[in-house]
Structure 1
Amino acid sequence: MTVDVQALNEFVLIGSAVTLLAILAVRLSSRAGLPSLLIYLLMGVALGEAGLGIPFEDAELTQALGFAALAVILAEGGLTTNWRQMRSSIRLGASLATLGIVVSVTLVAIAGHYLLGLPWQLAVLLGAVCSPTDAAAVFSVLRVVPLPKRLTGALEAESGLNDAPTVVLVVLVSTGAVSDHHPGVVVAMVVGQLLGGVAVGLAAGFGGAWLMRRAALPTAGLYPLAVLSLTFLSYGAAAAAQASGFAAVYVAALVLGNSELPHRGATRSFAEGVAWLAQIGLFVMLGLLLSPGRITLSTVGLALAAGLVLTLVARPISVAVSAVVQPMPWRELAFLSWAGLRGAVPIVLTTIPLAEGIDGSERLFDLVFVMVVVFTLLTGPTLPWAARVLRVARRSEPRDLDVEAAPLERVAADLLQVTISPRSLMHGVEVGELRLPQGASVSLVIRDDQTLVPERRTVLRAGDHLLVVTPRRQREQTEKRLRQVSRGGRLAQWLGPVR
């Protein structure tokens, strides 16, 4: 076996240049309010046959690498999700990921067959691949939209869990196995795989947390590797047990990310970096797989029609039906409907029928690709506007107070970096008047690039940067108290709770 060193060198050169450009593009996409996936997809198209001419048509390889990248993205999502914030909305999130998927697939499939003229198999596949939301697409935009915890929790839970049932459904439809079973049996198979994956994820998460607390690894850099390995162990174990690996990896990561583990901060940072790398590689690869010459006006028309049905009919109805288990005000449900961004997941799922050689699978891939690009461009930049119009944006934190946290692992505490904005009513308040929870304290004030060790009578000013140390168990109450003072000043104790 010989190795083409020249080809390897060219791959390293092009790969590193594309990765660097993709990283720099994150700033551009965040400023424009667009998910970075669009830029990565277009980079892939530019590198492909319509641009630099790099040939790539391997659907099976794309499917395998796509599933691996989705597992990495789900692991990062679980590790960085705050369970306390998600817990209040877990019922709605789980309902959206199961009942909502059923409703959405049904409506899109019916519209695809009777309105768009697709065969039933392609119509069902269209509904199945387009129904799940994409965590990477959703939260690349929602980072700049301050929302109540119940909304972010529902979106996080939905995007983390809805991949599992749709993957099972797409595989069953693509292989023709769905026609061999009664619809009730198919539903039981999907639910069984989802529950099995959750069970494996819980076992791997709690078992891994127990192991990591007792393992004395020689260097801090091994802990992030060990935690990610545990999440992928859950994926492999679930797949071997004929359960959902995606559900297992997300649940395991969620448990590990919310456990008291050594070097949690380093683990989360490492996971975020690996997830960004996975997103870049995944989206560029999907762009390479596209053949722009195949896209016709008919394909664009079908994509627009399918996207309108999904966005304006299937998504709102699925959200309304799912909310039966956890009712919410109509404004919040309307925002959840509009925030159902699609990203890499639908495009990756279309590689399953493409690899199976289903008639019309290339047309389906092109249709879904166009739909994802167009409707991400439509809905992504409008999310901040929709949050303001529907009055669901949480106004207190970004306008009055900016809080960032860093872990202090040795003492199970967190260091909060607080910036007092010109709008904040914390201006003029003495440190002693903050009345933080027991154990929390303001350790340092940075004012006009000068450091100041505060006393109880130190008066805070707009523009000050505070370093607040709080026990981890008191962190939520400490942040809540800071925001109360930021909104109400000295009279915060007589105001209502912060939304």
Structure 2
Amino acid sequence: MNQLLLLAGVVIVACILMNRIAAKLPLPSLLLFIGLGMCFGVDGFFKIPFDDYELSEVICSVSLLFVMFYGGFGTNLKTAKPVMGKAFLLSTAGVVMTAALVGAAAHVLLGVGWMEGILIGSVIASTDAASVFNVLRSKQLSLKYNTDSLLELESGSNDPISYMMTILMISLVSGEQISVAGLLLKQILIGAACGFLIGKASVFILNQIDFGMKQGRTIFLFAAVIVGYALPSVAGGNGYLSVYLCGILIGNRFIPDKKEMVHFFDILTEIAQMVIFFLLGLLVTPSQLPEVFVPALLLCLFMLFIGRPVSVLAILKPFGASWQQIGVVSWAGLRGVASIVFSIYVVLSGIPMTYNLFNMVFVIVLLSLAVQGTLLPAVSRKLEMIDKNANVMRTFNDYQDENDISFVKIKITDNHPFAGKTLKEIEMPPGVLVVLLFRGQETMMPNGDTSLEGGDLLICAAPAFEDRENLTLYEVEIDKNHKWRDKPVNELDQKAGVLIVMVKREGSTLIPNGNTIIRQDDLLVFRRQKHAKQAHG
């Protein structure tokens, strides 16, 4: 026991140090984690014998569910909305097309049967969210035409489809008498229903219940993620689809203490990725890899230059995508941990295979990370797809500016109390500083003698508010039947301690006053203050 704990601690420290080294290298850090696992393995320096596929499947599946949840939790739907349709097609039809093409290639190039070939294709059909996110973030790749959002959404959502196809093909190759349509419908419907219900319920509970402890909401969400995977899995549904959908629903809603949740799950998924890639490196026997290197190389080259590009071309070209975008999306089809985990499912099923599938998929993932992951920045630059004016981190919901300052804007109208006054004549609250003034097309650094005019836009800085224990934000969407539709704020029947903080309308944000009219499709953001007394003047 103590030896295992010592090993775990040493490995995590080594992974962290290697992550810092990887930041200075063109290689994806996940590739180094695999290499570290191989160094500890039976053919490595430490000669640790480990071939427990069942234990590896349990550990990797649990780790993968948190990676998939965080992929959904970090997906910014507002940013991804323009590419949502294309991403959905890539993650569904694209996976099926890739699996079929790879299956045909395996049949022709490797001489395996059609069913076995499609099983191999199903295992490696999906792109890997952890690998894609790792490259996009670590290399700060901001791509034109919302391509980074497209890759994020596709890679985060296509693993459940690959998982379903793998389970389906295992059943068919095993000779089980099943209804293909029935199995797929059961997987999708139960998984989607559980993800939707658990996601909605979690948002409601997180906004309505005071857990009475500082990190209570984070602990609750941790438990909800586990339930989100286990419940549909027990019922015969797709647990990975459930947790991904659950993550999207929760991540794109206002919930208290979200910053703390982001930090927690960011650390958790980092550890999960380290564990998965190290464990897979430990599980493999490097001396056996030469036996499958040539078949793995053939399939990898086929996917890179034929299978993936054909699928991407067939889906994106009808949308008018440029050849440059098609090229980058094709190259960014990195394979990773999900494919290896799915190959373990096949090994545990006992299906006789022509080649050792785990070893072959392992080599494919190594080649994909080493070649595609390393060269993705160079390919993006060569195809002139780098967007120098964008920040890829804005694609992710978990992006946080690391500072303690908040910036607010004040629009000066002709009848504003500040109009016609100099800044030194205005009594600003202590700790608030005017840092910028926009006047027409001109940007000014104001001082005390700067006079304000109608049409000016002031940018003020103030210390950020961090203690939110008694402050809860939640939102309400105004539909055509809502009783507040077309009414001014001062006529709304609101409970004590509740305040409309902002109104989201057609992509803009309004700070309301008593005369603001509530319109259909408005999204009202409320503040509920707990355990606070009403202030009286």
> TM-score with structure 1 length normalisation?
0.78
Q: 79-88 vs 127-136, which deviates more?
A: 79-88
Q: State the Cα distance separating 1:318 from its structure 2 match.
A: 1.2
Letter matched to residue 150 of structure 1: N
Query: C-alpha distance in 1, partners of 2:43/2:502?
Result: 53
Distance in 1 between residues matched to 2:3 and 2:503, nearest whole Å: 51
Aligned counterpart, 2:440:
none
Deviates more, 1:142-151 or 1:102-111: 142-151
Among all aligned residue pairs of Structure 1 and Structure 2, give the percentage whose two residues are the same amino acid.
Answer: 27
CA deviations on 1:212-245 (whole Å, 9 max, x unpaired) are 1011022231211212222222212221332111
Is the 8 Å Cα contact of residues 406 and 414 (structure 1) preserved in structure 2?
no
The 1:455–1:63 alpha-carbon spacing in structure 2 relative to 1, beyond 3 Å, is: closer
Q: Contact 1:406–1:415 at 8 Å: present in 2 too? A: no
Match for residue 74 of structure 2? 80
Q: Which residue of 2 aligns with 1:35?
A: 28
Q: Residue 234 of structure 1 is aligned with which of 214, 228, 234?
A: 228
2:16 matched residue in structure 1:
23
The structure whose residues are more often helix, as a share, is: 1
**Count of residue pairs the alignment pairs up:** 432
State yes or no: 1:142 paired with 2:136. Answer: yes
Distance 1:98 1:477, change over 3 A: closer
Q: Secondary structure at the match of 1:381?
A: helix
Code of the aligned partner of 2:338: V
Q: Which residue of 2 aligns with 1:246?
A: 240
Determine if contact 2:435/2:461 at 8 Å carries over to the other structure.
no
- Secondary structure at the aligned position of 1:380 is classed as helix
2:100 paired with 1:113: no
Once the two structures are TM-superposed, the CA of residue 181 in structure 1 deviates from its matched residue by 5.9
The runs of 5 or more residues in structure 1 that have no matched partner are 1-7, 418-430, 439-450, 461-465, 480-499
The one-letter code of the counterpart of 1:157 is L
Give the counterpart of 2:64 among 70, 77, 82: 70
Paired residue type of 1:111: A
Asked if 1:10 corresponds to 2:6, the answer is no
Distance 1:78 1:472, change over 3 A: farther
Match of 1:424 in 2: none
Report the CA distance between 1:269 and its aligned residue.
0.9
Residue 116 of structure 1 aligns with an amino acid whose one-letter code is L
Match of 2:304 in 1: 311
Query: Shift of residue 472 of structure 1?
Result: 8.3
The residue type paired with residue 162 of structure 1 is N
1:454 alignment partner, one of 435, 438, 447: 435
Tell whether 2:188 aligns with 1:194.
yes
Q: TM-score w.r.t. structure 2 length?
A: 0.73
Give the counterpart letter for 1:122 in structure 2: E
**What stretches of structure 2 of length at least 5 have no aligned partner?**
417-431, 438-443, 448-459, 465-500, 510-537
| Shift in alpha-carbon separation, 1:338–1:433, aligned structure 2, 3 A | farther
* Equivalent position SS for 1:31: coil
In the other structure, the counterpart of 1:131 is 125
Which residue of structure 2 aligns with residue 89 of structure 1?
Answer: 83
Bigger shift: 356-365 or 75-84?
Answer: 356-365
SS of 2:59's equivalent? Answer: helix
3-state secondary structure, aligned to 1:216: coil
The letter for the 2-side match of 1:376 is L
Q: Which string of whole-angstrom CA distances, capped at 9 and with x for unpartnered residues, describes residues 240-288 of structure 1?
A: 3321110110110111111111110110110010001111111111111
* Partner residue in 2 for 1:294: 288
- Which of 219, 226, 229 matches 1:225? 219
- Supply the distance in 2 between the matched residues of 1:199 and 1:233 (Cα, whole angstroms): 13
CA distance in 2, matches of 1:193, 1:433: 52
> Any conservation in 2 of the 1:407–1:414 contact (CA below 8 Å)?
no
Q: Does 378-387 or 141-150 show the bigger shift?
A: 141-150
Output the CA distance in 1 between the equivalents of 2:165 and 2:15.
Answer: 33
Tell whether 2:144 aligns with 1:157: no
Q: Assess if the C-alpha contact under 8 Å between 1:265 and 1:407 holds in 2.
A: no
Give, in whole Å, the separation in 2 of the partners of 1:367 and 1:177: 19
Distance 2:200 2:318 in 1: 28
C-alpha deviation, 1:149, in angstroms: 6.6
Aligned twin of 2:369: 376
Alignment partner, residue 470 of structure 2: none
Match of 2:261 in 1: 267
1:127 to 1:175, Cα distance in 2 relative to 1, 3 A: same
**SS in structure 1 opposite 2:237?**
coil
Q: Structure 1 segments of 4 or more deviating over 6 A?
A: 431-435, 468-479
**Pairwise CA distance, 1:121:** 4.0
Which of residues 363, 366, 379 in structure 1 aligns to 2:356?
363
Q: Deviations over 1:165-190 (max 9, x none)?
A: 221222232344675568xx525633
CA contact (8 A) 2:434 2:461 kept: no
Does the Cα contact within 8 Å between 1:137 and 1:342 map onto a contact in 2?
yes
Q: Please identify the structure whose Cα radius of gyration is greater.
A: 2
* Secondary structure of 1:87's aligned partner: helix
Going from structure 1 to structure 2, the CA distance change for 1:329 and 1:188 (only over 3 Å counts) comes to farther
What is the one-letter code of the residue matched to 1:273?
A: I
Measured on the aligned residues, the alpha-carbon RMSD in Å equals 3.5
Return the offset for 1:397.
3.6
Q: How far is 1:324 from its partner?
A: 6.4
Residue 405 of structure 1 contacts residue 414 of structure 1 at CA under 8 Å; is this kept in 2? no
1:335 and 2:331 matched = no
**Equivalent of 2:168, from 162, 169, 172?**
172
The separation in 1 between residues aligned to 2:316 and 2:339, in whole angstroms, is 24
> Which region of structure 1 is more displaced relative to structure 2, 370-379 or 113-122?
113-122
Tell whether 2:260 aligns with 1:279.
no
Q: Distance in 2 between matches of 1:38 and 1:472?
A: 45
Change (3 A) 1:97 1:454: closer
Distance 1:393 1:43 in 2: 32
1:378-410 C-alpha deviation (Å, 9 max, x unpaired)? 1112111222222222111469x9x974499xx
Q: Deviation at 1:433?
A: 11
Q: Distance in 2 between matches of 1:282 and 1:229?
A: 21
How far off its partner does 1:49 sit?
0.3
**Corresponding position of 1:441:** none
CA distance in 1, matches of 2:288, 2:49: 15
Return closer, same or farther for 1:195/1:339 CA change in 2, 3 Å cut-off: farther
Alpha carbons 1:132, 1:162 under 8 Å: kept: yes
